[in-house]
Amino acid sequence: MEKFCVGKFTVEPGDKLQGLLEVVNSDLTMPVTLINGTRQGKTVVIASGVHGGEYPGVEAAIRLARELEPAQVAGRIALLHPVNVAAFQAKAQYISPLDGKNLNRSFPGKACGTTTERIAYTISSQLFTQADFFMDLHSGDIHEGLIQFVLYPAGAGEDIAEASRAAAALLGVPYVVGSYSANGTFGCAASMGVPGFLGEIGNLGLWSEEEVTKYMSGIRNVLKSLGVLDGEPESVPTPEFLPRMLGLNAEQNGCWYPCVIPGQHVKQGDKLGEIRDYFGQKLGEYFASQDGVVLYVISSLAIMEGEPIVALG
């Protein structure tokens, strides 16, 4: 077994360290737990709190960081809980209050960029470069209603895509959805040769024991499948595999009135919602471009041009 070195931290085999990982070229930090096991194995990175108002994954990562011990681990585990501390404290939707950027659209980041870009660079340069697998724990933000699903990098090449897809199916959620994003967390990791996925459990900026427990059991399932934890993965219902996610963005400023709910199946041409102005006059209508299932719907009345409103699998 080798030492586990991340930033200023060095963790010997059989040791566990909790501290604040320094963001490159800034005074920012993020809480990290580094576990160096007692046996050879894979290195797994688990991130949470990339977006400020998404809580079940953060709580699941905090609990796992406390519960997991080196004697249980073959390989190494790094948990970030949460990644985006400023956004978490501000209860911010999508973007950081420090620079107005969306961290999940800023990878691989820049060493001398904005604060968000520096956070992304820290993760991609210090953790993805050592990782064998990556899990990013998301949920529906404060204005997002969703059904549980997980995204995997379908466009990353056959080997990485299949390893990611197989692991994603062990999370225990109803839908496993292909993604072709390149500037998000797991898309960046995949471009660096690291399979992984982005989970979505929980919604509307809330969290429950059931959601946290589901995340924890799903993560343990994946760690077992990778040989990082002993034992066989628990049986979970077979998910429905969907080739990709189709997102619609608002084309007007105003008020958003959805016609669908998360989990609803729609046919091509079905109305998804409309945007009205502040006098109640219709500005635009939105329709399904093909058959699918509603993965998430923006729940806020307020909407701005360019913002997401609904996504279909």
Average pLDDT over residues 287-300: 98
What pLDDT is recorded for position 29? 98
Average pLDDT over residues 21-27: 98
Residue 85's CATH number: 3.40.630.10
CB count, 10 Å around CB of 265? Answer: 13
Is 129 in the same domain as 271? no
Do 258 and 235 share a structural domain? no
In order of 75, 197, 214, 302, the CA distances from 170 in angstroms are: 20, 11, 11, 36
**pLDDT, average across residues 215-233:** 98
Of all residues in the chain, the percent with pLDDT exceeding 70 is 100
Relative to beta strand 133-138, strand 39-48 is parallel
Alpha-carbon distances of 292 from 147, 150, 273, 295, rounded to whole Å:
13, 16, 15, 9
Q: pLDDT band at residue 183, thresholds of 50, 70 and 90?
A: confident
pTM of the model: 0.97
Residue 44 in this model has a pLDDT that exceeds 90:
yes
Taking only the tens place, the pLDDT of each residue in 96-142 is: 999 999 999 999 999 999 999 999 999 999 999 999 999 999 999 99
Q: What pLDDT does residue 172 have? A: 97
Do 57 and 192 belong together in one domain?
yes
- Name the domain boundary from 241, 256, 280: 241
Domain that holds residue 274: 245-312
For residues 189 and 280, state if they share a domain. Answer: no
Q: Amino acid identity, residue 83?
A: V
Q: Tell me, what CATH number does 288's domain have?
A: 2.40.50.100
Q: Say whether pLDDT at 236 is over 90.
A: yes
Instruction: Classify the phi-psi angles of 263: left when phi > 0, otherwise alpha if psi is within -120 to 50, otherwise beta.
Output: left
In whole angstroms, give the CA distance from residue 154 to residue 162.
8
Q: How far apart are CA 61 and CA 257, in angstroms?
A: 35
Q: Please indicate, yes or no, whether residues 79 and 94 belong to a single structural domain of this protein.
A: yes
Residues 178, 277 within the same domain: no
Cis peptide upstream of residue 239 (ω within 30 degrees of 0): no
| Domain end among 219, 241, 263 | 241
pLDDT at 1 over 90: no
The tally of domains found in the chain comes to 2
User: Residues 165, 301: one domain?
Assistant: no
Q: How confident is the model at residue 169 (pLDDT cuts 50, 70, 90)?
A: very high
Q: Three-state SS for 278?
A: coil
Q: Write out the two tokens for 104.
A: 């999940």
170 and 289, same domain (yes or no): no
Q: How high does pLDDT run on average in the chain?
A: 97
Instruction: Say if CB 228 and CB 272 are below 8 A apart.
Output: no
Axis-axis angle for helices 209-225, 56-67 (nearest 10): 60
Last residue of one domain, picked from the residues 241, 256, 275: 241
Instruction: Note the residue count of the chain.
Output: 313
